[in-house]
Amino acid sequence: MALPKVEGTKVRGGIYQLNLRVPAEASHLYDGKTHLRRSLKTADPREATRQVTVAQAKLIEAVCRARQRDTLAEAVAALPPDQRELYEDAGGLSELIQRYGATDTARTFLRAGGALTERELDGEEASAVERLQADAAHRAEIAALDQIARTEAKALRALGEDVPTVEGLMAICRLKS
């Protein structure tokens, strides 16, 4: 008795054999092969269907990863030099996202903390000049972190990530104060 036909297979010797075409954009991931062919080691059509579905899912995932890599590479190549440098320094997209989160957290803490002088840290009273210097240094640190966050956000948006704008958050902070 012949086995029922299962899409994506051939029957040889009463056993289902996987036979799936590999899309051209993913063939480099499969050593240049045009088809995935191997024994499914089963004569059960339901088990063969399950194994074909798993193999198709892995194939689709590989194709999507290949397309995403190509798209990301094109997006990185189109970045301005300062944003590309941030991306490369971070070591990749997920690392840049983590770095952006850390920069945003640092900005939040710096804004909330205020400026302190060495004397104030020791529990002494600071002079007016020391206070002015501490305030100026504090504002400069905030401005530097704002610029870094702005550049990281621009790079992430150019790479297709949805990140809030620094300017929008700063405007909300100004309205509340």
Query: pLDDT per position in the chain (177 positions), as tens?
Result: 689 999 999 999 999 999 999 988 888 888 889 999 999 999 999 999 999 999 999 888 888 877 777 777 788 888 888 888 888 888 888 888 888 888 888 888 887 777 877 777 788 888 888 888 888 988 898 889 888 888 888 888 888 787 776 555 555 556 665
70 plus 87 within the same structural domain:
no
Looking at the structure, tell me whether residues 71 and 96 fall in a common domain: no
Distant-in-sequence contacts of 27-35, Cβ < 8 A, 24+ apart: 28/66, 29/62, 29/66, 30/62
Which of 49, 76, 103 finishes a domain? 76
Query: Number of structural domains, the chain?
Result: 2
Structure tokens belonging to residue 174: 């100004």
pTM over 0.75: no
